[in-house]
Amino acid sequence: MFHLSHVLGRIRNRWFAAASFVTGSVWSAHLAVLVFHWDDNVRYDTTLTLISLLAGIMTTFLIFHLALFGNKSRLRLAGGGLLTMIGMATMYITGSEAAIAPDDDRAHFVHSVLRPVDLFLLFGVLAAMCLVYIVAWRAMRLQRQALEKLAYTDPLTGLLNRNAWDRYAEKNTVNRNAAFLFLDLDEFKSVNDTLGHDIGDLLILEVGQRLKAFQNKHRQIYRLGGDEFLLVALQCSEASAQKTASDMLETIKAPYHLAGKVVHVSGSIGICLGSVPGSSCTTMLKNADAAMYRAKLSGRNRFFTYREGVSTFFLSPLRGTGNGLPKSIAKGRGA
């Protein structure tokens, strides 16, 4: 299964690898500037030189880490900016101190070069780094939001898609007061076969727009694929779930005016409540799916609430063909 975090992990490692080369180039250029001011007798203190390089690399890592990952609070960004300034100053100053020259040359360098130029150059570099950091953070944040929207949003309806549901099911446990409402359109295949897939897409689009009216901070709707939708309600009693299902069915069966044609469809809904013991999100979905199938067998355009022990033969992977079902159920005559 595709996970955005895997992609971001590879991007992070590549950025960090690139950061060491970028910082190494800046650091080398900085030391080269110092060399041009002195003669061939210049030497470098190994310890200070390595500290200067390490400070530059760690500072660059910090910039990319804050820009790409974690909570982007103002306090964290301000702290990151301060640490960036300290890191760049450390790289610059220790790099300057690492160069060892004859006393006369060093005295001449300090008075003629460092005094008038260093403060201006130092603060100019730090200001530029802060600006680069802000721009990079904003660009990467927008890029991440775009990638997440592409990965977790259904392009047709604008609802969350199957990837988003898989992520939710993986990271969350079932709330005892939760309810899952699994909706499947009745005779959607007939619409596709008789009116064409373009009309079918328009129908799914309109259904998605109607279902958005049932979303709020405690309810989220996913399009799982085809004509299947799932409403997850975090705070919902059985009576409230059944009322919501009834309202959804009334909304779904209203006529659709699509490309000059009037289309009529209905839906069947299966309800599974979080009070069922030992239920995971995946189990809740399977139980709601089984209840939805029971609603279809009961005459369509209705809902059915899952009860423990009723789903044994409704979980057949070949549902709709009659395989694995008692013949009387498969033919719609009742058990």
Domains of the chain: 4-152 (no CATH), 162-330 (3.30.70.270)
pLDDT at res. 301 = 92
DSSP 55: H
pLDDT at res. 77 = 67
- How far from the centroid of its chain's Cα atoms is residue 292's Cα? 29
Please report, for residues 80, 86, 117, the alpha-carbon distance to residue 122 in angstroms, rounded to integers and kept in the order given: 18, 11, 8
Contact, 67 vs 21, CB < 8 A?
no
Q: Which helix (H) or strand (E) holds 145?
A: helix 115-152
**Strand order of the sheet with strand 303-305?**
219-225, 228-233, 179-186, 266-273, 303-305
DSSP 172: -
Mean pLDDT by 10 residues, the chain (335 residues): 49 60 58 52 70 75 65 67 71 69 53 51 66 71 80 93 93 87 94 92 96 94 96 92 95 94 95 78 92 90 83 40 34 32
Phi, psi of 222 (to 5 degrees): -120, 140
pLDDT at res. 201 = 95
pTM, whole model, 2 decimals? 0.59
Please report, for residues 157, 286, 293, the alpha-carbon distance to residue 225 in angstroms, rounded to integers and kept in the order given: 11, 15, 16
Helix-strand-coil percent breakdown of the chain, rounded to 5? Answer: 60, 15, 25
pLDDT at res. 16 = 59
